[in-house]
């Protein structure tokens, strides 16, 4: 309970305590974001760790659908097998079957009209010209352009994908589709072969108007939360996130909303593409599309299954996006259904929670995920755990650091009360970092971890050092000119009257000239001298581990990175947020994103323990953050020794973040 005292204007908070268990408690500020579009609501919540569990559960719920299936995703591959145990069919075929059975299917996917995205990760394989073009490009093209990557689907999958999209596009209900040659062809063919269109499947794509792009570019440049970016970085962020390629990055599934008592939904980190399917084993062994992980690398990802009144806001998000893309007026048709939503407990790990849906939706002026992250870390007293594809939004690092430092100023005793511990798992490979090395370094440096990117750090630190020395040099040169004039004046005065006073003035002026000459020589020597080593630094009250993952069964000398795509943060075994938002300016301020959060301690603690056990091989999942921090450090050092020797497999997945490249990029 919390309120403000009218007399003193003081904030009063009351924490209930079960005295039969404890006589102490921790008072924090609110976890949920206030004065936003979506209120906290009751729900059941179940985290779904990695593709086998997440896609398996989505498949089961879609299979059970009786009324409607609503999907928003960044990427959709019709041939993808959600279940890889010999059971089931591809997701495109499953949706076809449900449509034939009378279930209404609505599929909304982001489309890049310039096909830039498709040349890297093809988000709709089979729906665009890039699918064919990429098969014909020589290896040299992929070697020359690091952002380009081959599609990994088999020939059979490509045939399935192309045929599925051909039929889906016969009933493409998008407004304002670009009228390119392919679109004209599809429209003409649709008129002749409409009977081949899928039954009850409405397919739509969405993008950004020129006005949307300009607004994002303007906001990112002038009003971005990261105020310390240099002008070049702000300009490149603005161009890439606004003008060039803003994306609709939300991922959600809503099943049977027209039957509210039985409605269920998913807030997802996973995209519906083969690459995102993996097991908890994260084996380096690549398998077939029907038997296991067939993507280019092992994949760490997290989604969430929810039921109850919180689905009201998933539906509002879907209807707004769908109506904007199609003009169908779905929101009006579903008005009032939320009053019948019920919390339902299914066997398998559902827990009743209070939860909140939050968005980044720049076209609507919504940037509530940004508010959530900054508000939540402000409540941290023990530890923050972040698992995210990117780690390059400096305002978050500065906030975490400020929280730890401020608690020290308020009297927190590190020896008695412990430190604030930050545990981070992210990526260091080109696939994730290559477009944003500068901001990644700035993030690490803000947390005292500059040695994790020594190549970039050396260039930036030397640039700063030389810039400072040039300023000192210019200042000395200016002072030398003044001192020279002063010395000449003293000599002239001595020539006119050779007195003890004029002699002393000449001596003093000469001494000043000599001192400045020596000072200038010293600065010139420093400018020519070696660069200073890149060093880490500590901040009061804060301990930091920034890590990456490798396949635990990697062979000696060939450790395979696990690509971390998760978007998770937990705090003090109390708060959790999961969704589509990355820790970068793009997700916080530009792209459309969707997250869910809750404040249920048991659910948060179980998930944190599950992930730490998975990543450390059971060695570093302790509830005491100080003990866990020490065990992570032992494992990081152990794996560093193994990696250096080159003759052993990893002790576990967890390795320290290290990127030696000196390439500086600013677009993200």
DSSP state letters, 451-514: GGSHHHHHHHHHHHHHHHHHHHHHHHHHHHHHHHHHHHHHHHHHHH---HHHHHHHHHHHHHHH
396/275 Cα distance (integer angstroms): 29
Residue 110 CB-half CA count within 13 A: 27
pLDDT for 6 beyond 50: no
Q: Is the confidence at residue 214, as pLDDT, over 90?
A: yes
Report the distance separating Cα 539 and Cα 395, nearest Å.
16
Q: What is the average pLDDT across 337-355?
A: 91
For 403, the 3-state DSSP assignment is helix
With beta carbons less than 8 A apart as the criterion, state whether 561 and 427 touch: yes
pLDDT at 535: 92
Only one residue has tokens 């993952």, namely 549
Report the distance separating Cα 303 and Cα 172, nearest Å.
Answer: 28
Question: Residue 96 has what pLDDT?
Answer: 98
pLDDT in the model for residue 195: 64
With the CA atoms of 367, 546, 242 and 75 taken in that order, what torsion angle do they form, in degrees rounded to the nearest 10? -90
Q: In a 3-state reduction of DSSP, which class is residue 143?
A: helix
pLDDT score of 8 = 46
Which pLDDT score is estimated for 7? 44
* pLDDT(543) > 80: yes
Token pair recorded at residue 39: 């209120």
Say if residue 438's pLDDT is above 60. Answer: yes
Other C-beta atoms within 10 Å of 663: how many? 14
Quickly count: other Cβ atoms within 10 Å of residue 279's Cβ.
16
Run of H or E including 218 = helix 210-222
pLDDT of 231 > 70? The answer is yes
The proportion of the chain whose per-residue pLDDT surpasses 90, expressed as a percent, equals 80
CB-CB contact of 43 with 343 (8 Å): yes
Report the chain's terminal Cα–Cα distance, integer Å: 41
Strand-pair category, 252-255 with 201-206: unpaired
pLDDT at 355 over 60: yes
Token pair 């089979």: residue: 126
| Mean pLDDT of all residues belonging to the chain | 92
Separation between Cα atoms, residue 664 and residue 668, nearest integer Å: 11
Confidence band for 145, pLDDT divided at 50, 70 and 90: low
Cβ neighbour number for residue 552 with a 10 Å cutoff: 22
Sequence-distant (6+) residues with CB within 8 A of 313 are 38, 41, 357
| Cα–Cα distance list, 287 to 81, 93, 333, 365 (Å) | 13, 22, 45, 44
In which band, very low, low, confident or very high, does the pLDDT at 314 lie, cut at 50, 70 and 90?
very high
Look at residue 491 and tell me whether its pLDDT is greater than 70: yes
CB 398 within 8 A of CB 520: no
Amino acid 249: pLDDT: 97
Residue 184 has a pLDDT of 55
With contact defined as beta carbons under 8 Å apart, do 91 and 272 qualify?
Answer: yes
Q: Indicate whether 316 pLDDT > 50.
A: yes
Provide the pLDDT for residue 191.
52
Phi-psi label, residue 353: left if phi above 0, alpha if psi -120 to 50, beta otherwise: beta
Residue with the two structure tokens 């009228």: 179
Instruction: Give the 3-state secondary structure of 108-134.
Output: EEECCCCCHHHHHCCCCCCCCCHHHHH
Model confidence band, residue 24 (pLDDT cutoffs 50, 70, 90): confident
Please enumerate in sequence order all residues whose Cβ is within 8 A of that of 594, keeping only pairs 6 or more positions apart, or say none: 72, 250, 251, 252, 267, 317, 357, 358, 359, 579, 580, 581
Contact 476, 545 (CB under 8 A): no
Which residue carries 């459309």 as its tokens? 592
- pLDDT computed for residue 21 by the predictor: 76
Specify the DSSP class assigned to residue 534.
P
């Amino acid at each position: 309970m919390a309120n403000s005292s009218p007399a003193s204007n003081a904030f009063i908070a009351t924490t209930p305590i079960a005295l039969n268990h404890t006589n102490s408690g921790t008072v924090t500020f609110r976890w949920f974001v206030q004065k936003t579009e979506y209120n906290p609501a009751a729900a059941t919540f179940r985290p779904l760790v990695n593709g086998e569990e997440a896609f398996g559960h989505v498949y089961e719920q879609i299979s059970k659908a009786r009324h409607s299936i609503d999907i928003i995703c960044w990427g959709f591959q019709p041939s993808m097998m959600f279940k890889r145990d010999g059971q089931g069919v591809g997701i495109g075929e499953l949706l076809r079957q449900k449509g034939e059975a009378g279930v209404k299917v609505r599929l909304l996917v982001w489309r890049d009209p310039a096909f830039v995205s498709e040349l890297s990760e093809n988000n709709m394989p089979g729906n665009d010209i890039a699918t064919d073009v990429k098969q014909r490009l020589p290896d040299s093209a992929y070697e020359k352009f690091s952002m380009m990557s081959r599609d990994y689907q088999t020939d059979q999958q490509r045939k399935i994908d192309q045929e599925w999209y051909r039929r889906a596009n016969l009933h493409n209900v998008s407004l304002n589709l670009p009228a390119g040659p392919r679109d004209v062809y599809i429209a003409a063919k649709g008129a002749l072969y409409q009977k081949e269109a899928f039954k009850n499947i409405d397919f739509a794509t969405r993008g950004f108007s020129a006005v949307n792009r300009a607004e994002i570019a303007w906001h990112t440049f002038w009003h971005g939360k990261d105020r310390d970016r240099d002008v070049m970085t702000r300009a490149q962020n603005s161009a890439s996130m606004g003008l060039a390629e803003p994306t609709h990055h939300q991922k959600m599934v809503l099943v049977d909303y027209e039957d509210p008592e039985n409605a269920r939904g998913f807030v997802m980190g996973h995209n519906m593409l083969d690459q995102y399917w993996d097991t908890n084993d994260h084996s380096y062994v690549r398998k077939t599309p029907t038997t296991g992980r067939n993507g280019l690398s092992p994949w760490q990802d997290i989604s969430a299954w929810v039921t109850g009144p919180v689905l009201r806001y998933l539906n509002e998000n879907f209807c707004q996006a769908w109506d904007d893309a199609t003009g169908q007026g779905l929101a009006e048709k579903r008005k009032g259904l939320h009053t019948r939503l019920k919390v339902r407990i299914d066997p398998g790990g559902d827990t009743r929670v209070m939860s909140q849906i939050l968005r980044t939706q720049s076209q609507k002026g919504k940037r509530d995920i940004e508010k959530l992250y900054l508000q939540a870390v402000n409540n941290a007293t023990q530890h923050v755990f972040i698992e995210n594809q990117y780690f390059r939004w400096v305002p978050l690092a500065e906030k975490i650091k400020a929280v730890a430092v401020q608690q020290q100023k308020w009297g927190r005793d590190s020896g008695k009360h412990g430190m604030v511990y930050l545990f981070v798992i992210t990526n260091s490979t080109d696939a994730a970092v290559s477009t944003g090395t500068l901001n990644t370094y700035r993030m690490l440096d803000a947390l005292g971890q500059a040695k994790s990117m020594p190549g970039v750090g050396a260039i930036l630190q030397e640039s700063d050092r030389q810039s400072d020395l040039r300023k000192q040099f210019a200042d000395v040169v200016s002072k030398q000119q003044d001192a020279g004039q002063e010395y000449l004046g003293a000599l002239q005065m001595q020539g006119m009257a050779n007195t003890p006073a004029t002699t002393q003035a000449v001596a003093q002026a000469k001494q000043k000239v000599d001192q400045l000459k020596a000072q200038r020589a010293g600065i010139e020597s420093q400018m020519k001298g070696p660069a200073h080593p890149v060093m880490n630094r500590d901040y009061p009250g804060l301990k930091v581990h920034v890590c990456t993952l490798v396949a635990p069964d990697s062979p000696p000398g060939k450790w395979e990175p696990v690509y971390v795509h998760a978007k998770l943060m937990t705090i003090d075994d109390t708060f959790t947020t999961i969704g589509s938002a990355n820790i970068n300016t793009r997700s916080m301020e530009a792209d459309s994103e969707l997250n869910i959060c809750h404040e249920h301690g048991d659910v948060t603690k179980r998930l944190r323990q599950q992930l730490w056990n998975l990543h450390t091989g059971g060695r570093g999942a302790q509830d005491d953050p100080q003990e866990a921090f020490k065990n992570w450090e032992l494992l990081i050092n152990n794996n560093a020794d193994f990696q250096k020797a080159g003759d052993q497999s990893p002790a576990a997945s967890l390795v320290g973040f290290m990127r030696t490249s000196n390439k500086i990029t600013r677009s993200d």
